[in-house]
Amino acid sequence: MFTTRPELVGTHGMVGSTHWLASAVGMRILEQGGNAFDAAVAAGFTLQVVEPHLNGPGGDAPIIGHRAADAHTFVLCGQGTAPAAATIAAYTGLGLAEIPGTGHLAAVVPGAFGAWLDLLARYGTLPLADVLSPAIGYAEHGYPLVPAAVRTIATVRELFTDHWTTSAAVYLPHGELPEAGARFRNPELAATFRRVLSEAESAGADRLTQIEAAHRTFYAGFVAEAMDDFLRTPVRDSSGDDHTGLLTADDLAAWRPIEEPTVAVDFAGVRVHKTAAWGQGPVLLQQLQMLEALGVAEAEPGSVELVHTAIEVAKLAFADREAWYGDDGTPIDDLLDPAYAAARATLVGESAADGLRPGAPGGRTPRLASVFGEEVDGLWPGRYQGAAGAAGGGEPTRGPSGPDALRIESTGETRGDTCHVDVVDRWGNRVSATPSGGWLQSSPVVPGLGFGLPTRAQMFWLESGLPASLAPGRRPRTTLSPALALRPDGTGFAFGTPGGDQQDQWTIPFLLHHLLWGADLQAAIDAPGWHSTHVPSSFHPRVSERLGVEAESRLGARVLDGLRARGHVVRDAGPWSLGRVSAAGVRADGLLHAAANPRGMQGYAAGR
């Protein structure tokens, strides 16, 4: 079978990510003698520099890890929480019905930097200087800025010039757009990292003492002070007005990353691990269970029947996400009960289903946000606008609200997105991480720091009584969705993709091709993709596309026409556009393997 690249196979270590420089840095750490956790941290810090339109030090980073020595599998939550002052009344008192998608009001505690530090402290072996130095070097001496970053800067050029002048100083050097592929530097960010490292090393020679001092410097030192000062300055956001923020230095100082168990189900001989329902990861598990109940192993790869079934299953799982997922009270055991999955699977018919139909796990009565309309016989009408959007999807982090919002976002002019990295080392340790947020286009650069704040609060509802309702100290229901697929014998792989609400749809064809139909990791990543855009968007302005489907043209005209005949509103997304999957793991024969996505022409795997 032709693949765009070979599946990498070796014995020493493997790294796959959404940027070749991050993969190279991770591999450098493995060559240096570090383990998978060290390598992931170094790659994560590098991604904060080289993909500033996709993540940053002020963003979010859920991480799933597996320690091979004792088969300890865990989630490290780098998703920051809502500020203490972030009540529903605080926003509605400003005349807002939804939290803006950009600016200070959307800021939660930035969790990415702390999560990487915590992973290094708990499971790594190297000192902070070893894993942070590559990122400092790229920020200080420069790196080739990818074309997507330049396109992103172009979409917000006027905003930067007129309102976010601190961002203009970094991303519009000499008042001009940077050139794609040319050397780009962020000396402010380099200076921030250098000062954090200097203060950490001044705390003492012990590795853990230095890491703790770095955390303190970021969350209670000069970094936190700069954030707090800037949040008191009004900035323009997507509401069209200027607002100060609710996040404070006290919120920053009180926050720590959390380690917690994974949520997992068995599928096709592996146990698939995800975060709990403060992230959307369990929707993948629900989809896999429903697909198994529907006999997916007997399906024809890439057929109309398979794609239709997968789309309908996704709509059911994401309807459950809207009704049940959040940081508190999610009935996860009932949602992942095989009997519940089998009952939900019976709702899949021959035609595209309209509306939203959440289930009743454990006999509970579902409830959706009021914007989805009034329930009739267990069906909510939904909140739809426009036709299927541009290829690639992702996370719309800036754009107007109102009638033109979806049209503008669907041109690709205001899309943000996410990063991903997977690592396996020669001892069998594995890491999957999906850093995101702190996008250059969603929040202005904090003066003197070289990076912006997260805007994940936009994913809360300003309506009480919902699992994802805003409350102080609560985690937003993020779309970020790292994953592990592990077997009892210790084999298996880390995997994931950027893509906002599409993350746990784009991994479906990858998993089916690899686990059920025998494709290697690269062939499974290269397989044609699809996703439903009928599922509700998690991002401001929270609209979706009625019966919408995006599908790669490599599925073939017969399949796309067959989906239309079943009632789907299909957009041909082109041959290579959907999905950013990477993966790294241990094969059944004990060899290590990895692969990365060719779409977008920047993701790579490295290994030997």
Query: What's the pLDDT score for residue 1?
Result: 77
- Phi, psi of 356, deg, nearest 5: -125, 130
Q: Are 107 and 52 in contact (CB under 8 A)?
A: no
CA dist., res. 581 & res. 523, Å (int): 11
- Alpha helices, DSSP H only, in 548-598? 557-565
The number of angstroms, rounded, from the C-alpha of 529 to the middle of its chain's C-alpha atoms is 18
**In a domain? residue 320:** no
Query: Which residues, at least 6 apart from 299, have a Cβ–Cβ distance to it below 8 Å?
Result: 305, 306, 309
Q: Are 64 and 431 in contact (CB under 8 A)?
A: yes
Within 10 Å of residue 103's Cβ, how many Cβ atoms? 29
- Phi, psi of 518, deg, nearest 5: 80, 10
Question: What domain count does the chain have?
Answer: 1
The number of angstroms, rounded, from the C-alpha of 578 to the middle of its chain's C-alpha atoms is 15
Query: Which residues, at least 6 apart from 117, have a Cβ–Cβ distance to it below 8 Å?
Result: 41, 128, 211, 214, 215, 218, 257
Within 10 Å of residue 560's Cβ, how many Cβ atoms? 22
CA dist., res. 175 & res. 168, Å (int): 7
**In a domain? residue 194:** yes
- Phi, psi of 549, deg, nearest 5: -140, 135
As averages over each run of 10 residues, the pLDDT of the chain (608 residues) reads 94 98 98 98 98 96 98 98 98 96 97 98 98 98 96 96 98 96 98 98 97 98 98 96 98 98 98 98 98 97 97 98 95 98 98 98 96 95 67 42 30 61 98 97 97 96 96 97 97 96 97 98 98 93 93 98 98 96 98 96 96
**In a domain? residue 583:** no
**In a domain? residue 276:** no
pTM: 0.95
Neighbouring C-alpha atoms within 13 Å toward the C-beta of 511: 33
**In a domain? residue 446:** yes
- Phi, psi of 10, deg, nearest 5: -170, -160
Query: What's the pLDDT score for residue 398?
Result: 38
What residue has token string 């969603």? Answer: 442
- Annotate 384-439 with three-state secondary structure: ECCCCCCCCCCEECCCCCCCCHHHHHHCCCCEECECCEEEEECCCCEEEECCECCC
Q: Which of 147, 580, 146, 578 is nearest to 389 (CA)?
A: 578
Element at 291 (helix H, strand E)? helix 282-293
Instruction: Give the structural domain span for 197.
Output: 45-260+418-459
Could you tell me the two tokens for 504?
């746990």
Within 10 Å of residue 300's Cβ, how many Cβ atoms? 9
